Structure 1
Amino acid sequence: MTTVLLLMDFQNGIAGRPGFEPVVDAAARALDAARGRRVPVIFVRVAFRPGYPEISPDNRAFSRHRDADGDDMALDRPGTQIIDRLAPRDDEHVVVKKRFSAFTGSDLAVLLRGLGADDLVLGGVSTGGVVLSTVRQAADLDYRLTVLSDACGDPDPEVHRVLVGKVFPPQARVTTVDEWVSEG
């Protein structure tokens, strides 16, 4: 079994907002443990070309950002860069996606196949966005899944609670970073 840690949307414009500090702390502990165990780490971020040509006006969720953010979510802008606390090392992969799921518009599936991954451990912001969409797609692709509940966060605590408590368990094992680390 080859395990990969996916840290998703831990970028300045998303996880760098106030209120996500405990989630970032948990993700940092997971990252340290993965690095110590030589578990491959893949960072996922969302970013677009200037002017957001990838976003259809029919996409309600993303067209809202295109219209409101200017080019804040463009590929080279500070808001799309991984937060300093979790800075990827040179030997760690960074995947750029174009929608909520880490798989959509990215080369994540190809990279996971190349690594021989069959077991994914997920953390991300937000639970109702990237984590939910990625869990659903990864489950459909037959990956074994673990969601690190404290390394996930959502602007709406109730959404987070329902997802990790009721929605994810049929498709993924839900645990904390400390429990995952103690399993060695």
Structure 2
Amino acid sequence: MSEQALLVMDVQRMIVDRYPDPAYLPRLRKAIDTARANGVRVIYVTVGFRPGAPEISPRNKLFGRLAGAPASAAAAQANDIHPDVAPGPGDIVVTKRRVSGFAGSDLDMVLRANDIDHLVLTGIATSGVVLSTLRQAADLDFTLTVLSDGCLDNDPEVHRVLTEKVFPMQAEVTTVADWVAAR
């Protein structure tokens, strides 16, 4: 029997705010509630750094501007998981240090310790955390499902190409409604 986990990735307030789609969080909430009701482990993957971001090289094009930046209470709060999809009791929160959910985190250890071999991917952005996590998870031999409308990207065409052409080579791609109906 395959053990599944729903990965809810990069839905921190500061990230969600950059992707205005009023239907996204309610749709994601439905997937989360369905997972919990059906015994599917819910794992949140967030991006985060220690104060001063000593894990970041200034050479890193995406995160380099944060290297050596002083921590602030406002920045920490903005980095919290959005309250509309906040973790519940029994959910796991993993902090990653780069784009992939596996990079600099203990995600693989958590998955293996819980005998999870099937990942259901959601998150922001499709071309960022979802793509990077999918590729690494496939290389680690996980069975993969992507909830296409459980992902967002700032470029709709990139989202379409990934969910319709790239992801199906390594994952089943479905919608939140179809995944919920199959539970």
Give the shorter-chain TM-score range. over 0.9
Q: 1:155 to 1:47 in 2, by over 3 A?
A: same
> Is 1:12 matched with 2:5?
no
Show the 5 A alignment for 1:37-116: 37-64=38-65, 66=66, 71=71, 77-116=76-115
Q: 1:165 to 1:2 in 2, by over 3 A?
A: same
Deviation at 1:18, TM superposition (A): 4.8
SS in 2 for 1:168: helix
Kindly report structure 1 stretches of 4+ aligned residues shifted beyond 4 Å. Answer: none
Aligned-pair Cα RMSD in Å: 2.0
Deviation at 1:15, TM superposition (A): 1.5
Give the aligned length. 182
| Unpaired stretches in structure 2, ≥5 consecutive residues | none
Distance 1:96 1:141 in 2: 19
Distance 2:136 2:72 in 1: 27
% same residue: 50
| Unpaired stretches in structure 1, ≥5 consecutive residues | none
What TM-score, normalized by structure 1, do the two folds share? 0.92
Q: Assess if the C-alpha contact under 8 Å between 1:11 and 1:83 holds in 2.
A: yes
Question: Which residue of structure 1 aligns with residue 167 of structure 2?
Answer: 168
> Is 1:157 matched with 2:156?
yes
Q: 1:183 to 1:137 in 2, by over 3 A?
A: same
Distance 2:60 2:92 in 1: 28
Distance 1:25 1:160 in 2: 19
